[in-house]
Amino acid sequence: MVYHPQDRTGRPLTAAGPGDDGDTIAAQATPPGRGGVGIIRVSGPRAGAIARAVTGKELSPRQAEYLPFFDSGGEVLDQGIALFFAGPHSFTGEDVLELQGHGGPVIMDMLLRRVQELGARMARPGEFSLRAFLNDKLDLAQAEAIADLIDSSTEAAARSALKSLRGEFSRRIEALLEQLIELRVFVESAIDFPEEEIDFLADPQLRQRLDRLANSLQDVLAAAGQGCLLREGMNLVILGRPNAGKSSLLNRLAGRDSAIVTAVPGTTRDVLREQIQLDGMPVNVIDTAGLRDSGDEVEREGMRRAWEEVGRADRVLLVFDDSTGFGTQEKAILRRLPAGLEVTLVRNKIDLSGGDSRWRQTDHGPSIGISAREGLGLDVLKAHLKQVMGYQGSGDNVFMARRRHVEALERARAAVERGRRQLVEHGAGELLAEELRQAQQALNEITGEFDNEALLGRIFASFCIGK
Amino acid sequence: MFYQQRFDVIVVGGGHAGTEAALAAARMGRRTLLLTHNIETLGQMSCNPAIGGIGKGHLVKEVDALDGIMARAADRAGIQFRILNARKGPAVRATRAQCDRVLYKAAVRAALENQPNLSLFQQAVDDLLVENGRVSGVITQMGLKFAAPTVVLTVGTFLGGKIHIGLENYAGGRAGDPPANALARRLRELPFTVERLKTGTPPRIDGRSINYSRLQVQPGDEPTPVFSYLGRREEHPRQVNCYITATNARTHDIIREGLSRSPMYTGVIEGVGPRYCPSVEDKVMRFADKDSHQIFVEPEGLETHEVYPNGISTSLPFDVQYRLVRSIAGFEQAHIIRPGYAIEYDFFDPRDLKPSLETKHIGGLYFAGQINGTTGYEEAAAQGLIAGLNAALQVKDEEPWSPGREQAYMGVLIDDLITRGTQEPYRMFTSRAEYRLLLREDNADERLTEIGYRLGLVSESRWQAWQQKREAIEREEQRLRATWLHPQTPAAQRLETLLGQPLTREASLMDLLRRPEMSYSKLMALEQAGPAVDQAQVAEQVEIRAKYAGYIERQKNEIERNRRQADTPIPQHLDYDQVAGLSAEVRQKLQRVRPATIEQAGRIPGVTPAAISLLLVHLKRLRAAGS
């Protein structure tokens, strides 16, 4: 065992468990949407201070109070109920604050940003439950469930959060990352290899690159602030062989005729998208060309795009004709889907087959019967979608994941700005390097690991280094 | 036969890892034996005779803070000293000393011979004695057995060595020495993962055949830096210059023509070489757009004419080496004393080691140095010291100790090795350290000397010296915090010329020192601010701590946040198959590394925060089930 010298000085160990990094975490505890009441939950050592700052008064533990929530300028954000639980007598065993406000996404967003500003960070999937468990607030029997929660929700959230962003947005983040890495390659090689004939810290290009990175971060954040990041919606892709009724389903969900619906297979040659609202939360429904082998070039192009959409999907609706049933072609489609992508089977045309609209669990996923033409079973389908897409229940979901992303981008921007000042005002290259490392850590939370080793690899690939 | 005397710690190998290991164990009062195949090569600098450099100098200062020999030997042998990155901020400054090979060896040898509790014995080791999964001693070439409960193996140069010059190759260790083949074969039978690496050296040149007038002079720094915290300038031998020249288009043509007979470009060499220190043929091929590469012309000593042309490591055939050397400015008439060559050698996957550098498979057996896949004297010395001190601790049944990544470059080195393994000869760079602003050359004593003292590793005299320094720093900081300058006083007016703006409200000297445009010496030039401390090392600390204060605090907070994870152990034999929810990939990675703590697990590439949460849940369940 490694031990650390501080231990020998008898420094008291804190009561907090190992899963707790000392951070205060926050999340929306209610499903996102236009629902009546929304709850923001905060847990950790700063919960008390946050309560005081938001409500402007000292809350008595376990007593609900109806009062205004203030922003940093003292303006009222919302009126609602605040509840404070002092640890260990709380759900997580830590100090916990609950703010119950109006449930609309805008207010919830503002409240979350407010608690972030006061030092909370967005909770990771399952983190409240994890802390509760580690602080003996949940029993062993519940541990299995927590493991499931962490496991499935993380994967789903991470997958959808990045992929479901419109192509352009994720491309911009990739471009940001690349700009940052290039800068770090310059700065770190100047520090680690001073005997090479490169002194990038003195190069005016460095400052320009730094400015460009700062601007790009600013642009991406501005775009996110306008809501296209947080409120962009889930991507629901409708797949199926030609004439299975995909376009009719899209029109039903969208409530108007956006796709040309004919009885001729292959009518939809391109990708059609509609944004619909399920209880106030947006869903992008994407109807794709029918999937079949075709000699028609236009149709082939349509199918290529269909698969591209699948790559960004949060969920697939696989539509088939209930009277012919789930067959080999449907199985072939399923086999081509990326691993882990959730699928709902839609048995269409039950008006012709005489089938029912009941929800069933099958080997390939949940299955629901509808008639797109007659409008049968659509309420069952919508309820099902709300449930699976995280609009019900308080688990982690893509909206939480995206809020975490915005928070990470903000941290990256702040670090780049500090680094720029260190270089420009003080010529402190090693402090610029440190700030860029912080920015990298923040972006890593969105794009995945890029560590010291990978950076060294880039340095050695870029410059001939070493005596 | 068994040798009569029993030892506590046996160190096999007398290179930079072996000597530090033996000295460390002996300093801690353990009966220590150093076995080497040749006492004459103790402390030999087998490659370029220089100590330090960026990242490496940091390691040397840490070894010094724990009372190791490397920095002190460099002070006695250094013939050119420089501070690299001198203009780039204290955290990334590093000392480098060009050394006289003979003087260096003599300094190390003297330290070994005068070290109480340490015996030397000249015999190659052919085998290990292993009983019930624990090492119990070694067997030498002539069948002599030495018994000890701990053995530190530092036989890196070179296990199963194979030397290449052109398409010719032969078995060999460090040039001129035999390879340790019997031991290499024996170790291959044990359950360690063996891999192959490659490195190379340049041809050495007779300095009398060099036309120095065509080279650029590279003098040492003035005033001459010292390496050890206890070092003195008066210990240095005579100082000399290094020189710089460069390859040219003709050199590159010669290299390209010779590639068909290069062992690297014809696939004869299988081992993986470093990306950062490529052979000259690699430089020319991989960076074809560069028409020139620097060569640092470094003397090997005061009493030899041999010169080390740093930058043209090569394994091309000798006739090509001859022509390429003579194509270089200043080397037109150069006489090559020793040909350059590439060497392939075995190393053991360091993920089979614990943080103490004890092997996971055989109790009491420690590996240090190049055997673990590292390159460089400094990396070897750091590991040797840690392995030696842990062997010494184990003998007394004490808890092992190894610095964390936040404490020392040594910690970064060991953690990288045991957590990630290595795919190329591992060398230290400052960019490997997350806490670069804390891990400075100037504060290795602050970070390590007290711990070393408590471990019994640091002598009373060094401990006293450090305590005095620490107290002086604290006193001076206290004084700077307590001394205030007020606006509209004569002192404030003089300050205005320094700051370029008037002092608007009263400020402590510490506040003023924190300003970027202010330095300790400028501040002390003010009559009201003095007197300055007279020890330069103290003034330096006060200034750096003031300048970095905000960053130091931030990094310390970051460390504090990771502490609970660092303090959460993972049982060594944990069954990862029982951890619910882990992906097969993550499971496999955890099984390979078997991290000692949750924090280490989090640093394994590909192990996600979610995986860490799952591990925490599992550990908690285990504890609950156990109680």
Whole-number pLDDT of residue A82 = 93
C-alpha span between B41 and B105 (Å, rounded): 8
pTM: 0.82
Q: Are residues A371 and A377 in contact, defined by beta-carbon separation less than 8 angstroms?
A: yes
C-alpha span between B275 and A193 (Å, rounded): 13
C-alpha closest to that of B14 among B40, B29, B36: B36
Q: Shortest CB distance from A4 goes to which of B296, B566, B618?
A: B566
Sign of CA dihedral A241, A242, A248, A250: positive
Q: Are residues A371 and A346 in contact, defined by beta-carbon separation less than 8 angstroms?
A: no
Q: Shortest CB distance from B89 goes to which of A140, A196, A430?
A: A430
Res. A11 pLDDT band, cuts 50 70 90: very low
Strands lying side by side in the sheet with B118-122 = B118-122, B32-36, B9-12, B150-153, B365-367
Q: Are residues A116 and A410 in contact, defined by beta-carbon separation less than 8 angstroms?
A: no
C-alpha span between A128 and A73 (Å, rounded): 30
Phi-psi region of A313 (alpha: psi -120 to 50; beta: other; left: phi over 0): beta
Other CB atoms within 10 Å distance of the CB of residue A375: 12
Question: How does DSSP classify residue A39?
Answer: E
CA distance B617 to chain A (A): 7
Q: A13 contacts in B (CB within 8 Å)?
A: 567
Alpha helices of B259-355 — where are they, by DSSP H? 280-286, 318-326
Are A452 and B400 in contact (CB < 8 Å)? no
CA distance A192 to chain B (A): 6
Are A147 and B581 in contact (CB < 8 Å)? yes
Whole-number pLDDT of residue A84 = 95
Mutate to test the interface with A, among B544, B557, B617 (most CBs of A within 10 A): B617
* Nearest chain A alpha carbon to B285: A464
> Residue A199: in which H helix or E strand, if any?
none
C-alpha span between B93 and A432 (Å, rounded): 15
Interval A211-248: pLDDT, tens: 999 999 988 887 665 544 445 566 788 888 888 888 88
Quick check: B170 pLDDT over 90? no
Are B581 and A151 in contact (CB < 8 Å)? yes
Residue A117's SS3 state is helix
Residue B566's SS3 state is helix
Q: How much is the average pLDDT of A339-346?
A: 83
The share of chain B scoring above pLDDT 70, in percent, equals 98
* Nearest chain B alpha carbon to A193: B54
The share of chain A scoring above pLDDT 70, in percent, equals 71
For the CA atoms of A305, A311, A317, A320, the dihedral, rounded to the nearest 10 degrees, stands at: 50
CA distance A199 to chain B (A): 11
Are A143 and B562 in contact (CB < 8 Å)? no
Distance (Å) of CA A200 to CA A183, A390, A457, B55, B56:
10, 48, 18, 19, 22
Q: Are residues B452 and B65 in contact, defined by beta-carbon separation less than 8 angstroms?
A: yes
Note the residue count of chain A.
467
Distance (Å) of CA A104 to CA A38, A39, A67, A149:
7, 11, 18, 25
Q: Shortest CB distance from A21 goes to which of B561, B610, B618?
A: B561
Mutate to test the interface with A, among B54, B276, B623 (most CBs of A within 10 A): B276
In this structure, of A2-16, A248-262, B270-284, B562-576, the range with the lowest mean pLDDT score is A2-16
C-alpha span between B82 and B224 (Å, rounded): 7
In the numeric block, which tokens belong to residue B393? Answer: 């601790």
Whole-number pLDDT of residue B625 = 76
Quick check: A340 pLDDT over 90? no
Question: How does DSSP classify residue B352?
Answer: G
Q: How much is the average pLDDT of B277-300?
A: 90
C-alpha closest to that of B169 among B268, B259, B312, B274: B268
What is the ipTM for the molecules in this complex?
A: 0.89
C-alpha span between B609 and B568 (Å, rounded): 15
* Nearest chain B alpha carbon to A430: B89
C-alpha span between B150 and B383 (Å, rounded): 16
Is the pLDDT higher at A414 or at A404? Answer: A414
In the numeric block, which tokens belong to residue B508? Answer: 């402590």
Whole-number pLDDT of residue A187 = 92
C-alpha closest to that of A250 among A370, A342, A365: A370
CA distance A455 to chain B (A): 9
Other CB atoms within 10 Å distance of the CB of residue A232: 19
Q: Are residues A1 and B596 in contact, defined by beta-carbon separation less than 8 angstroms?
A: yes
Q: How much is the average pLDDT of B140-156?
A: 94
C-alpha closest to that of A79 among A53, A101, A98: A101
Q: How much is the average pLDDT of B207-232?
A: 96
Other CB atoms within 10 Å distance of the CB of residue A258: 16
C-alpha closest to that of B420 among B384, B386, B383, B372: B372
Whole-number pLDDT of residue A133 = 84
Interval B329-370: pLDDT, tens: 999 999 999 999 998 888 999 999 999 999 999 999 999 999
Work out the mean pLDDT of chain B and round it to a whole number.
92
Q: How much is the average pLDDT of A341-358?
A: 87
State phi, psi for A175 to the nearest 5 degrees: -65, -40
Are B596 and A1 in contact (CB < 8 Å)? yes
C-alpha span between B345 and B12 (Å, rounded): 18
A261-295 in b/e form (b: 16+ CB < 10 A) is beeeebbbbebbbbebebeebebbbbbbbbbeebe
Residue B183's SS3 state is helix
Are B399 and A431 in contact (CB < 8 Å)? no
Quick check: B195 pLDDT over 80? yes
C-alpha span between B499 and B476 (Å, rounded): 22
C-alpha span between A76 and B357 (Å, rounded): 59
C-alpha closest to that of B549 among B472, B481, B621: B481
C-alpha span between A303 and A320 (Å, rounded): 17
Q: Are residues A200 and A184 in contact, defined by beta-carbon separation less than 8 angstroms?
A: no
Q: Which amino acid is it at B280? A: V
**Taking CA B557 as the corner, what is the angle to CA B554 and CA B562, rounded to the nearest 5 degrees?**
130
In the numeric block, which tokens belong to residue B58? Answer: 């940091």
CA distance B268 to chain A (A): 23
Whole-number pLDDT of residue B31 = 98
Other CB atoms within 10 Å distance of the CB of residue B143: 10
Quick check: B432 pLDDT over 90? yes
